[in-house]
C-alpha cells in the first residue's frame, strides 16, 4: 500500500476492525496516539482506575507497599513499566496475604493451600522484581560496646 494512502486511525478498536475486516496488514496502518487520551494511572496522577476509593485502609496499605517496592528498586524515575506493573501485583498479593492472616488470627478457617500458593507466587514475583534484603552496614563494635551504646551505663 502506498504510504500516502495509509489510513490514519485513532483508537485500538478501529485498528482491530481494520486489521480483521479490511484485511490490512499492521504495516499498512498509521496509528496516532494522543498523550491526553492516556489514563490517569498511566500518567502517574492516580494510583487506581476510576471508581476505586483510594482512602480505604486497604487502598492506603496497597499504596504504601507499592511505594516501598518501587523505592527498593530505585524509584519511579528509573523503574520500567514492567517493573511498576510487577510492583503493583506484589502489593496486591501482600494485601491479600495480610487479609488472610488477619482472618486466621480472628479464628476464621484459612484456605491453607490457597495461602501457601499465594505466598509462593509472591516470593517468586518479589524475586523477579529484584527486591531482596540488603544487609545493613554495621560498625566494627564488639557486643559489649554495642550494648553500652544502646543502653548506656548505669553508674
Is residue 51 domain-shared with residue 114, that is, in the same domain? Answer: yes
Res 25: pLDDT: 58
Is residue 54 domain-shared with residue 106, that is, in the same domain? Answer: yes
Q: What is the crossing angle of helices 112-129 and 81-105, to 10°?
A: 150
Ranges of the chain with pLDDT below 50: 1, 3, 155
Tell me if 134 is assigned to some domain. no
- Domain of residue 28 covers 3-37
Is residue 54 domain-shared with residue 92, that is, in the same domain? Answer: yes
Q: Look at the block and give the residue holding cell 486511525.
A: 9
pLDDT in tens, 57-101: 999 999 999 999 999 988 888 889 899 999 999 999 999 999 999
Tell me if 145 is assigned to some domain. no
Res 155: pLDDT: 47
Determine whether 121 is exposed, middle or buried from the number of CB atoms within 10 Å of its CB (0-12, 13-18, 19+). Answer: middle
Res 43: pLDDT: 60
Amino acid at each position: 500500500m502506498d504510504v500516502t494512502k495509509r489510513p490514519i486511525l485513532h483508537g485500538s478498536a478501529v485498528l482491530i476492525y481494520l486489521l480483521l475486516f479490511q484485511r490490512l496488514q499492521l504495516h499498512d496502518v498509521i496509528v496516532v496516539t494522543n498523550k491526553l487520551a492516556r489514563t490517569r494511572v498511566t500518567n502517574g496522577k492516580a494510583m487506581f482506575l476510576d471508581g476505586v476509593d483510594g482512602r480505604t485502609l486497604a487502598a492506603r496499605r496497597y499504596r504504601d507497599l507499592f511505594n516501598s517496592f518501587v523505592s527498593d528498586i530505585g524509584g519511579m524515575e528509573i523503574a520500567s513499566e514492567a517493573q511498576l506493573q510487577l510492583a503493583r501485583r506484589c502489593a496486591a498479593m501482600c494485601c491479600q496475604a495480610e487479609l488472610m492472616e488477619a482472618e486466621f488470627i480472628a479464628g476464621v478457617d484459612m484456605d491453607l493451600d490457597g495461602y501457601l500458593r499465594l505466598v509462593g507466587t509472591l516470593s517468586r514475583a518479589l524475586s523477579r522484581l529484584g527486591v531482596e534484603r540488603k544487609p545493613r552496614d554495621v560498625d566494627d563494635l564488639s557486643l559489649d560496646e554495642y550494648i553500652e551504646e544502646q543502653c548506656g551505663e548505669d553508674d
